[in-house]
Structure 1
Amino acid sequence: MDALKAFSASQIAWVSQSPSAQQQSVQYSTSALSGLRQAVGQFNNTNADSVLATTCILVSQSKDWLSWSSFLGGINSIAAIIESRQQDSIYSDNIKRINACWARQAASRTIDHFNFQRGELLSRINRSLQQLRAHFGTRPVEIYWIDQCLYLIQCLQTIDPANTVEDQFNHLIVLRRLVFWLPAYLLHDGSIDMLKLSVVMHLYAVALALEPFFPGLSAELYGDNAAPALLHGLDRMKAMQPEMHSSNSTPLMQFPDAILAEFNA
């Protein structure tokens, strides 16, 4: 329960920029970690699901490589144990996906969904974000977050590819935070329009497009996590098209739609 409270407090802190919410998040995370350590020491069939769920929630709030890798390693071990025991779990589908991701990573397979190199991909993302930005006129909030994504991509264009999982984590720590928290920040007030959704869909598309170059993060951030959210969001945007009347919304969906199609190819 403390892990869920920590996650909720983190989300509130992101949306409201509240220092007290951030402090609460730290307090709940500390309490959840203490409880997790105790539960791991008494790991059994009864508490396996709660241990797995708590670890998955806490990994999303990791702010540094050491804690992130520790939690992710724990998720891998717990999922493998549950599957090896063939015990019933409410997270059976998630466990299969986790184990598949780790098996893929252990085999050092890079999923090459795209037929161009890293530099070409980053240039393509840069162009798409620049084109998206041109649609926003006097909407400073969305422009600010598009600029944050652009800055990240431009930084990646100036540095060498990540050679270790730690490098991958450090290169994408900003994108990781945006994927977890920005959708809630942009959509929390309930007024969902095509432009807000287009920012979120481009964010998911960027994460999905970068997967082949950051395979060490795929178990947490990409693939089966980003693709369903992207599909759902694009379906929502397509359903909203009749409301746009004279406005042409197709350019807002073009890049995310293409990335999803390439991922599923």
Structure 2
Amino acid sequence: MAGPGGGPSRRSHTKSRKGCKTCKKRHIRCDETFPQCRNCTKHQVRCDYMDSPNALVPESPKSPQQPNLLWTAEINATVELWQQTGEFPFPELRVYPEPHWRAYPKTDLRLIHHLSSITNEMFRNRTSSLTVWTDLMPKFLSVAASHPFVMHSILAFSASHLAWISQSSETRNLAFHHAGIALKGLHDGIATFTRINSDAVLASSLLLAWQATDWRGWASLVQGTKTVIQAMQPWRHESLFAEFIAEHSPMPSRNFMIPISSPVTQDARREHMETLSDLQSALQRLQPYLNRQDQESKWVDQLRSYIDRLRTSSPPQTAEEQFGQLYALRKWLFWVPISLLAAKRGDPTVLVVLAHFYSAALALEPMFKDIGSVFCANLSLRPLEDIIHIVQGYQDPRYDQRTQGVSYLIQFPSNIASSYKTRRDWVRQQTNDSSPVQQSPYGLETLNLDLENQIAAYSYGQSQSLSPAFAPSPLTSLPHGIPSGQTSPYLEVPRTVVEAFGSTSYASPLGSPATVPPPYSVHDDHVFNFGMPMGYHPSGFVATPTPIWT
């Protein structure tokens, strides 16, 4: 049939109306893959298909227990070729020596591919220094070539992120399976600690500490990291992690395993409230620049909600309480930057938003004086300084008015970074003056005994030994609706002891990803939604009420 004017007929086509919202906003074709479309997977953003009731239905009834590793046809082809040839798909990362890739099963290669693809994109776009961890990943992989327990630490780290995206309990199981093996290997590595395996012990300690979901497991691993860094001082310049060691030496002199209560004075609380008000004001100034920035706007809303929660909550007095209140921010520091940078690598608005996340970690450090510097602030300083340097360059008159306007919002994060460095340097000077050469009594033997006690005391399932970061919490009583039996806090927010139902006290992990918390007053500061508004999704977005995952 001839078209208008006698020309050839137009090719008929049908426009898909089932594509995800992200693809529609970006005006690209959505492949409609459930539960995460290919474009969202590529850019490390949450696909709104995950919010559909059908998203949690297994794709195939033949394999309902398989971990959801967000496979795509492209990833599958890449991994299969990798397995056949043994050639690493990301040579730009310069991993040397390379692990013997053909020895790894396909699932492990997928987990390695996940972190490597993120890292490769950050390196390619010259944004790796703007994140907490991507700069270190090639070094971790190099060390893992000759130390399998480091590779298991990497596999656990990757699986934990994929589980956070997909809400898959099977992927969680895979994460703490690898973490348990890594912990055993770390224990053996410390028992035979030498200059040769010191990088491996440090790498595994870092990776496992980054994944810890309860205070005691984190404190043990961080204390171990501190001890290892001290032991490595004579040969620190030979280490692959020499720069990291320099940035984190000396570490605070206190023993993180000792639960110290630190009451907050009225004057200190007043200063803390002023800090929270300053953070809220800074975030408010960002709002006019986020009208067309949907993802960035949602993350800023999450951070504002978190700051509001801190303002109305009781000040934390113990290290464990501090861990619980900082946990959500810490999680975001690891994964929000890679999500935003992958989508819009050169956007000054994205950089300024990330600068406010990092500066929040620095500004909040005095409120969490027992763990704040090691848990969040020290990790955030370097990427924040790099972002400040980049964004200040946008203040040049050659850029348009909007770009220049948003670039001046970097002043608040810049002031926070300067204040934090001054405060940190003063503390270090005081420490050096009071104990110039004092060695921590917490040595390698003590560290390994502590890990040995963890392995003996904590287990998941039959005989799998795990650190407290991956093991169940002993419940003294279970609230209605939470099933008994083995549970893992990897599926929940951090454990803590809260008062509920009169005088009953209980340690409160959620029993399973399907468990809905019991009803609480909106004024309760309970473990289930601290810093996480009702309906919190793993991406940090707010939607309909769902279980909370970490």
User: For the superposition of Structure 1 and Structure 2, which TM-score range results when normalised by the shorter chain?
Assistant: 0.7 to 0.9
Instruction: Provide the secondary structure at the position in 1 that maps to 2:211.
Output: coil
* Aligned-residue RMSD, C-alpha: 2.8
Q: Which amino acid aligns with 2:415?
A: A
- Tell me, in whole angstroms, the C-alpha distance in 1 between the residues paired with 2:391 and 2:246: 31
| Counterpart residue number, 2:179 | 29
Alignment check: 8 A CA contact 1:105 1:215 kept: no
Alignment check: 8 A CA contact 1:204 1:230 kept: yes
Alignment deviations for residues 24-45 of structure 1 (CA, whole Å, 9 cap, x no partner)? 4434323322321222233233
Alignment check: 8 A CA contact 2:394 2:407 kept: no
| Counterpart residue number, 1:131 | 285
- In the TM superposition, 1:62-211 aligns within 5 A as 62-83=212-233, 86-88=234-236, 89-90=238-239, 91-95=241-245, 97-103=247-253, 117-189=271-343, 191-211=345-365
Aligned: 1:252 with 2:402:
no
Cα shift at 1:235: 1.4
Q: Which amino acid aligns with 1:164?
A: T
Alignment check: 8 A CA contact 1:105 1:216 kept: no
Deviates more, 1:165-174 or 1:21-30: 21-30
Cα shift at 1:257: 1.8
Cα shift at 1:96: 5.2
- Tell me, in whole angstroms, the C-alpha distance in 1 between the residues paired with 2:185 and 2:313: 40
Instruction: Provide the secondary structure at the position in 1 that maps to 2:376.
Output: coil
- Tell me, in whole angstroms, the C-alpha distance in 2 between the residues paired with 1:192 and 1:26: 35
- Tell me, in whole angstroms, the C-alpha distance in 2 between the residues paired with 1:215 and 1:103: 13
Alignment check: 8 A CA contact 2:153 2:207 kept: yes
Alignment check: 8 A CA contact 2:155 2:178 kept: yes
- Tell me, in whole angstroms, the C-alpha distance in 2 between the residues paired with 1:144 and 1:22: 26
Change (3 A) 1:104 1:64: closer
- Tell me, in whole angstroms, the C-alpha distance in 2 between the residues paired with 1:188 and 1:26: 27
Cα shift at 1:204: 0.6
Instruction: Provide the secondary structure at the position in 2 that maps to 1:44.
Output: coil
Cα shift at 1:149: 0.8
Cα shift at 1:182: 0.9
Alignment check: 8 A CA contact 2:289 2:406 kept: no
- Tell me, in whole angstroms, the C-alpha distance in 1 between the residues paired with 2:191 and 2:274: 48
Q: Which amino acid aligns with 1:59?
A: A
Q: Which has the larger radius of gyration?
A: 2
- Tell me, in whole angstroms, the C-alpha distance in 1 between the residues paired with 2:408 and 2:255: 35
Alignment deviations for residues 54-77 of structure 1 (CA, whole Å, 9 cap, x no partner)? 101111111111211121121122
Instruction: Provide the secondary structure at the position in 2 that maps to 1:100.
Output: coil
- In the TM superposition, 1:226-241 aligns within 5 A as 226-241=380-395
Structure 2: gaps (5+ residues)? 1-150, 261-267, 423-550
| Counterpart residue number, 2:48 | none
Q: Which of the numbers 46, 50, 53 marks the counterpart of 2:196?
A: 46
Cα shift at 1:79: 2.3
Q: Which amino acid aligns with 2:202?
A: L
Q: Which of the numbers 135, 144, 155 marks the counterpart of 1:5?
A: 155
Between structures 1 and 2, the one with greater helix share: 1
- Tell me, in whole angstroms, the C-alpha distance in 1 between the residues paired with 2:345 and 2:197: 40
Alignment check: 8 A CA contact 1:11 1:184 kept: no
Change (3 A) 1:44 1:25: same
Alignment deviations for residues 154-176 of structure 1 (CA, whole Å, 9 cap, x no partner)? 11111222211111111110111
Change (3 A) 1:93 1:187: closer
- Tell me, in whole angstroms, the C-alpha distance in 2 between the residues paired with 1:139 and 1:13: 26
Q: Which amino acid aligns with 1:57?
A: L
Aligned: 1:219 with 2:374:
yes
Alignment check: 8 A CA contact 2:392 2:408 kept: no
Aligned: 1:263 with 2:417:
no
Give identity over the alignment, percent: 29
Counting matched residue pairs gives 254
Alignment check: 8 A CA contact 1:52 1:75 kept: yes
- Tell me, in whole angstroms, the C-alpha distance in 2 between the residues paired with 1:3 and 1:254: 38
- Tell me, in whole angstroms, the C-alpha distance in 2 between the residues paired with 1:77 and 1:57: 16
